[in-house]
A and B are shown apart, each in its own frame.
Chain A
Amino acid sequence: MKKRSWFAVLSLALVVALVFTVAAGCSKPSKQPTIDKIKKRGVLKVGVKADVLGFGFMNPATKQYEGLEVDIAKRIAKDLLGDSKKVEFTAVTGKTRMGVLDNGEIDMVIATFTITEDRKKLVDFSPVYHVDGIQFLVKKDSGITGLKDTDKKTIGVAKGSDTQDRLAEQAAKLNIKPQFASFETYPEILAALQSGRVQVFATDGSVLKYYESQDKNTVILPDKYSSEEYGVATKKGNDDLRDFVAKVINNMVSSGDLAALKRTWGLGK
């Protein structure tokens, strides 16, 4: 008996030791300015989405990332390293994008990342480069016309997104109680919609467009439930990189390049 409880204590001690090791690793500040580090490395590492058509999308035919956010990354690489090809893309999801930015695997996230007050405490954002809004994708024969019809229904959202909180706030005002189910990736939410696990697929309208095109029995509802302002996220403390990115975005806005790119990707108003 004695021996067993010793094992239990030892296991818990291991967990605690692990915590402190990780914590110690996190608090170590890097003295070297980030831009110098990237220049020495010669390549910019960017986290983008792989499944959001028009923003960050892995084209299965060409095996290349493409979209507005990919083009923004290439532009930053061109201004920073003099070559738009010196970018290394990493596919991220709403759930993983913070982790890989935090552990230094990537330099920045350009992945339909909405600027919120809470997130501002944890990462630095560039100026807004695109504004989107939460919309619903439903089955055509579902009879759902908007949030008001979702009482006791299940709404599928993506893990790591702010969709659930935004919708829950507004549902409370309407005095209805929808249930929420969070999934790892967007295709899983579509599968959940198709198999009747959820009755609504809720996320930013730009994301939904692709999934609507994948299933003829679904339709995007017109109502928007939020104003999502996308920004480029950099790790806190990398002030030089943050300022550089801000300058690039501002230039793209004032020169009209950003508007032109949006037209290319069919994102214009």
Chain B
Amino acid sequence: MFGLESWQTLLVDWRIFAQGLAQTVLASVLGLALALALGVVMGVLGVVPVRPLRWLNRFYVEFFQNTPLLTQVFFYYYGLPRLGLRLPVLAVGVMGLGIYTGAYIAEIIRAGILSVHRGQLEAAFSQGFRYEEAMRYIILPQAFRVIMPPLTNQFVNLIKNSSILSFIAGYDLMYHADVWSSYNLLYGVAYVTIAALYLCLTLPTATLARRLERRMQATWGGSVS
């Protein structure tokens, strides 16, 4: 199963895996952008003093955190076309990953904002800041320090979760490994190879984010571990 021949067969077909890697990176990067945008907006909505907006935040977070990602993606892939919206498979993947991860990020942002002492907001008001200004200049920068570490985990999770594209013929790394290995019947080498490739994506992401976090702690006078 892990003989030299198996590895040779895999090397001959390296282009297939390279294509898969490219698609996985593309889906992850775009998904991440969508997740961040949705997460920040929805997270802030979770603390604004307008009740319907907070309800919107609750609905979004609870619904998308508590249903399986695969179910959501199947709905976008098979269900939406019946409602007249047939998105390309990459868009389905980005949408699925972005909306799902966005729900987790929203919760992280909300918790981060709430972790900043109330007195900070009151102090900002007393200095004549409007609500949006207080958020932008006083609260969010402080919340960011609390937000960064769990956010990193979400980035890494999103990259790993991108493998669900394989279930909707998404031409990602997992899909190509599935198709290639089930045709060649060489499961071992294929999955070990893509596990290593996923590590190549996730480890640098985690490392980079950690370094960023440390720099920010230094800037903001936090303790440097």
A residues sitting closer than 8 Å to B (CB atoms) are 1, 4, 7-8, 11-12, 15, 18-20, 22-23, 26, 94-95, 98-99, 102, 118-119, 122, 156, 159-160, 162, 164-165, 181-184, 191-192, 194-197
A94 to nearest B CB, angstroms? 7
Interface of A: prevailing SS: helix
Identity of the chain A residue whose Cβ is nearest the Cβ of B175 in the assembled complex: A182
When C-beta atoms are compared, the residue in chain B nearest to A184 turns out to be B167
Contact A95 B207 (CB under 8 A): no
Instruction: Say yes or no: A119 contacts B178, CB within 8 Å.
Output: no
Among B2, B79, B178, point to the contact of A159 (Cβ < 8 A): B178
In angstroms, Cα B189 to Cα A15, docked, is: 11
Given that A8-B203, A183-B169 are contacting pairs, would A195 and B78 also be in contact in the complex, using a CB cutoff of 8 Å?
A: yes
Instruction: List 16 contacting pairs A-B, 8 Å CB cutoff, sorted by A.
Output: A7-B203, A12-B196, A23-B2, A23-B188, A26-B1, A98-B182, A98-B187, A118-B184, A162-B183, A182-B178, A182-B179, A184-B167, A191-B78, A192-B78, A195-B86, A197-B169
Contact at B183–A160, with CB atoms within 8 Å? yes
Known: A8-B203, A195-B82, A196-B81. A159 touches B182 (CB 8 A): yes
The answer, among B167, B169, B178, B185, for a CB contact under 8 Å with A98, is B185
Q: Could you tell me the distance between the alpha carbons of A95 and B185 in the complex, rounded to whole angstroms?
A: 9
Query: Smallest Cβ distance from A84 to chain B, in angstroms?
Result: 31
A119, closest chain B residue (CB): B185
Which B-chain residue is minimally distant from A96 (CB atoms)?
B182
**Size bracket of the B interface:** 20 to 34
User: Considering the chains assembled together, what is the distance between the CA atoms of A19 and B195 in angstroms?
Assistant: 11
Measured CA separation A194–B82 after assembly (Å): 9
User: What 0/1 readout, one digit per residue, does chain B (186-204) give for beta carbons within 8 Å of chain A?
Assistant: 0110001001100100010
Q: Does B215 contact A (CB under 8 A)?
A: no
**A181-B114 Cα distance, complex, nearest whole Å:** 46
Cβ contact within 8 Å between B78 and A22: no
Please, which residues of chain B bring their CB within 8 A of the CB of A95? Answer: 178, 182
With a cutoff of 8 Å between Cβ atoms, the chain B residues found around residue A194 in the complex are: 82
**Residue in chain B with minimal CB distance to A99:** B187
Does B77 make an interface contact (CB < 8 A)?
A: yes
The answer to whether residues A15 and B179 also contact, given A122-B185, A182-B169, A197-B81 and a CB cut-off of 8 A, is no
Tell me if B117 counts as interface (CB < 8 A to partner A). Answer: no
**Apart from A20-B2, A195-B77, what 17 extra A-B contacts exist at CB < 8 Å?**
A18-B192, A19-B188, A22-B188, A95-B178, A98-B185, A98-B187, A99-B187, A102-B1, A118-B185, A119-B185, A159-B182, A164-B183, A183-B167, A183-B169, A191-B78, A195-B79, A197-B89
Min CB–CB distance B16 → chain A (angstroms): 12
Could you tell me if A15 and B77 are in contact, using CB atoms closer than 8 angstroms?
no
Report the Cα distance A183→B168, complex, angstroms. Answer: 7
Residues in A whose Cβ lies below 8 Å from that of B188: 19, 22-23, 26
